[in-house]
Structure 1
């Protein structure tokens, strides 16, 4: 199905572009955590390839593409080297990196869903695995860096939700036999734009209604009863 949507060369180029920008985000976090060169490379690889490896292992596409295509493995190392030597400059273009990261999110959630469906999963499971493909590397990155994963932090702009919207669109297109290069592109752009809007306007998921928490957060008073929707 992927072959019907994009030529192999285009698909490969899109994959490498997404891998590169995800690797940049991983390498930057490693620098902020004062990791050495090996740690920077590891975090870049895990962030870029983690979601795809997880997907391939679940659907039985083994060995995963990350281990059969040298370009997939080397691209995060190039990103890690770039950040290692030029991280102040890369930090200054963080907004641009975030834009490309959003593009990678949109691309991977769509290709992940499609590949999962190709390997026999149902529509719901394929959509879930599409989200995992898009966000899995970031979760592994944060765990290795000893951070609470951004995916579950209330003070982070929406990340998984745009991916969920993109995968849902792909699943509906498959159900109604409407999946094409055009509709796939629309799903990618929708997830991409939603992520950009979330970053621009700081959209966040609601926390529990009438929650009681002992956690002290900026602007909170310890022991304060706080209701949020």
Structure 2
């Protein structure tokens, strides 16, 4: 009985992820100005891509999206909503990050749970949970000839999926699979929203080069060294206070001598 409840909850979460990702795919299809066929194809690909990729890697029979009509119908429903509804304006700008976060949380939980259910260990479960969560978005970006946002330059996304998968695996390994599905979904979605709100991003690769790591460890990075070097150079090229005080007096002395010579020359006989 408990196993049936777990399977039903898993199915609900998986379908929720399909629906949310199909809507997101439709949003991008609208921005790309695709025709109706391209629009629906793109939205369905976005909605089913992560789950199909997960099932192919698990090699546990045909992908569930091709065996259960509910998945295809859910993806078509998401595509229809994003095609017919007005997905512009400030209201949508507030809604779509929530949909994106829900999609990430549900699919991370579903991917990790299915990996554990077929007998894989905790590490492959975390990996496949992450792939399931970000796979649809990565495929979506590749089809539109863009660098997948999950690879960088965006707020935390794959990191949120990893954390959600870890929560699922931890709860399941301790005998709380149902609690793990709920907690994992909430954790992934919540962390994704907070990261977007606070602007949390991972540093670029160059920021973690060996040279910069050593510089940060010694408390003297490149920018700081250049700033200190410029300050020392400016101080060295600046005249001292004594030299600045002598210069005007010296000029007046020389000028007075020349004036006296000129006056002496003028007072002499013509």
Residue among 171, 176, 182 paired with 2:179: 182
- TM-score, length-normalised on structure 2? 0.71
Residue among 135, 155, 163 paired with 1:165: 163
**1:2 CA displacement:** 8.9
| Aligned residue in 1 for 2:199 | 202
**1:4 CA displacement:** 5.5
Between stretches 87-96 and 124-133, larger displacement belongs to 87-96
- TM-score, length-normalised on structure 1? 0.83
> CA contact under 8 A between 2:155 and 2:201: conserved in structure 1?
yes
RMSD: 2.5
| Aligned residue in 1 for 2:34 | 35
**Residue 11 to residue 180, structure 1, CA distance change in 2 (3 Å):** closer
Give the distance between the partners of 2:45 and 2:223, measured in 1 at CA. Answer: 37
Gaps of 5+ in 1: 213-224
**Residue 152 to residue 60, structure 1, CA distance change in 2 (3 Å):** same
1:118-150 per-position Cα deviation (integer Å, ceiling 9, x unaligned):
112221011100100111000000000111111
Which of the pair is proportionally richer in helix?
2
1:146-195 per-position Cα deviation (integer Å, ceiling 9, x unaligned):
111110132x11111111001112222344x2333223322221111110
Give the distance between the partners of 2:89 and 2:27, measured in 1 at CA. Answer: 8
Give the distance between the partners of 2:102 and 2:132, measured in 1 at CA. Answer: 14
1:49-91 per-position Cα deviation (integer Å, ceiling 9, x unaligned):
1111111111112211100111201222222222222244588
| Aligned residue in 2 for 1:6 | 6
Give the distance between the partners of 1:135 and 1:167, measured in 2 at CA. Answer: 12
Give the distance between the partners of 1:26 and 1:6, measured in 2 at CA. Answer: 28
Gaps of 5+ in 2: 210-221, 225-270
Between stretches 203-212 and 12-21, larger displacement belongs to 203-212
Structure label with greater radius of gyration? 2
Give the distance between the partners of 1:13 and 1:118, measured in 2 at CA. Answer: 16
Give the distance between the partners of 2:138 and 2:31, measured in 1 at CA. Answer: 17
Give the distance between the partners of 1:91 and 1:15, measured in 2 at CA. Answer: 28
SS in 1 for 2:85: helix
SS in 1 for 2:186: helix
Q: 1:95-110, aligned counterparts within 5 Å?
A: 95-110=94-109
Aligned residues: 212
